[in-house]
Amino acid sequence: MRGFNFNLWVGGILTLVVICGAVFAPLLTSLDPVFDANLMNAELPPGREFWFGTDAQGRDIFTRVLYGAQISLTVGVVSQVINSVIGLTLGISAAYWGGWWDDLVNGLTNVMLAIPSLIFALAIMAILGPGLPSLLIALGLTNWSWTCRIARSSTLSLKGQGYVQAAQTLGYGDIRIMATQLLPNMVGPILVISTLGIGAAVLAEAALSFLGLGIRPPFPSWGSMLTNARELIVIAPWATIFPGLAIFITVLGFNLLGDGLRDYLDPHMRTREQ
């Protein structure tokens, strides 16, 4: 008997809304987030024409929030994919092969854990200069340690399982075993942590924007919208509220989805359903 998984549903719906907003942005708005700027319309409050009002440049905030979803999702998903690839590759191979490679990966993971990822990302952004590719690299290189740990511990426990040993005795190569026997069986926890990681990346983008190392304008990223509009909070509060809400809803969606997935995949945690 499986009850209503609140987290999974609400998280899924929120995430879906954000994804739809990003994908169908050109259909949902006729304006361009960059070039439809009219300074004569600057800082208009929300109304019939501009649902979320306009910003200091006279651009439609609704449009920019929609297109911002594309950027935020790109940042979140791509950086998380990079993280997962790094973390999984290192984690699985380290645990599978062991020895000095394991020690090395462990050491590296410890180092990565010890340096706060925001600071690491800050440093990488400072080297590469602000912009989307740098952001993807910075966030993609700095958050793989948890994935790596999970991959490593999963591998360690799976390694002793009969089917992995069976694959070895059947003559499978190491890489094939990692890809077909180990990887598919840690999809659950990795999916959970990746979902949470996407949310974290969206937040990190905002924090980096706040610290002055965000995305290349004029493309709308929620973090930079928020940071730039911060000073308008008295005269044009809508310019901060909507991108802020967008971040909140997106991250909330991914966090709930992650929790929901965890509940769904891990029966031990299915306590809420009693």
Partner 1 sequence: QDPQSGGTLNFVAPYGSSFGTLDIHSTPATQDEFPAKAIHRSLYDWNSAEGKPELELATNVEVSDDGKVFTYTLRDAKFHDGKELTAGDIIYSYQRIAHPDNAFPGARYVSGVVGIDEFVDGSADSISGLKAIDDKTLEISYKEPVAEPGYELMRVNAAIYPEGAAEAADFQTSPVGLGPFKFVENIPGSRITVEKFEDFYEDGKPYLDKINIVLLDDASARDVAFRNQEIDVSVLGPSQYVAYQADDALKDNILEVAEVYTRHVGFNPDYEPFQKKEVRQAINHAINTDLIIERLVKNKAYRATGWLPISSPAYNKDAVPYAYDVEKAKQLLADAGYEDGIEFEITATQNESWGLTIVEAIIPMLADAGIRVTAKPVEASVLAEVVPAGDHQAFMWSNVSGPDPYATMKCFYSETTRAACNYWAFDNAEFDAVFDEATAEADPAKKTALLSQANDIVQEEAPSWFFNYNKAVMAYQPWLHGLQQNATELAIQNYEDLWIDDTAPDSRK
Partner 2 sequence: MKDMATAPLLDIRDLHVHFPVGGQFLSRNKRTLHAVAGVNLSLAEGECLSIVGESGCGKSTTALAVMGLQEPTSGDILFEGGSIIGADAPDRMARARIAQMVFQDPYASLNPRQTVWRSLAAPLRLHGTTAKSEIEDRIADILQKVDLRPEHAARYPHEFSGGQRQRIGIARALILNPRILMLDEPVSALDVSVRAQIINLLLDLQEELSLSFVMISHDLGVVEHMSDRVAVMYFGQIVELGPWSAIFANPTHPYTRKLIATIPDPDTVLHPDRKVTAHAAPEPPEGYRFHPETVGRPDVYAAPEPSELVEIEPGHFIRAQRR
Partner 3 sequence: MLRFTIRRLLQMIPTIFAVALLIFVIFSVIPGSFASSLMSDGRTNADPETLARINAEFGLDKPVHVRFGEYIVGLVQFDLGTSFRFREPVTEVIGDRVWASLKLSVAAMVFAIVVGVPLGFIAALRPGSILDTATMVGAVSGLSMPQFWLGLLLMYFFALQLGWLPSFGYGGGDPLYLILPAITLGVTPLALLARTTRAGVLEIMNEDFIRTAHSKGMSNARVVRWHLMRNVMVLVVTTIGLQFGSMMGQAVVIEKLFAWPGIGLLLVDSVAIRDIPVVQGTILVIVVWFLVINTFVDIIYAAIDPRIKQT
Instruction: Enumerate binding residues for partner 2 (CB under 8 A).
Output: 161-163, 165-173, 180-181, 184-185, 187
Out of 57, 89, 153, 168, point to the residue binding partner 1 (CB under 8 A).
57
Identity of the residue numbered 7 = N
Q: Counting contacts by CB under 8 A, is residue 118 touching partner 1? A: no
Query: Contacts with partner 1: how many residues (CB under 8 A)?
Result: 28
C-alpha dihedral over 207, 212, 216, 221, to 10 degrees?
30
Question: Which tokens hold the place of 36?
Answer: 């439809």
Q: Counting contacts by CB under 8 A, is residue 119 touching partner 3? A: yes
Residue (26 or 267) nearer to partner 1, CB: 26
Judge contact between 150 and 159, C-beta under 8 A.
Answer: no
Identity of the residue numbered 11 = G
Q: Which stretch binds partner 3 (CB under 8 A): 50-58, 85-93, 177-185, 199-207?
A: 199-207
Cα(80)–Cα(154) distance, rounded to whole angstroms?
19
Cα(267)–Cα(5) distance, rounded to whole angstroms?
12
CA angle (106, 142, 192) in 5-degree steps: 85
**Long-range contacts of 171-174, Cβ-Cβ distance < 8 Å, separation of 24 or more:** 174/96, 174/97
Question: Which tokens hold the place of 80?
Answer: 């998380």
Minimum distance, C-beta of residue 203 to partner 1, in the bound complex (Å): 19
Residue (12 or 131) nearer to partner 1, CB: 131
Which positions touch partner 1 (CB under 8 A)?
A: 34-37, 39-40, 42, 56-58, 126, 129-131, 212-214, 216-218, 228, 230-236
Which positions touch partner 3 (CB under 8 A)?
A: 6, 107-108, 110-111, 113-119, 122-124, 126-127, 129, 199, 203, 206-207, 210-212, 223, 226, 230, 233, 240, 244, 247-248, 251-252, 255-256, 259, 268-269, 271-272, 274
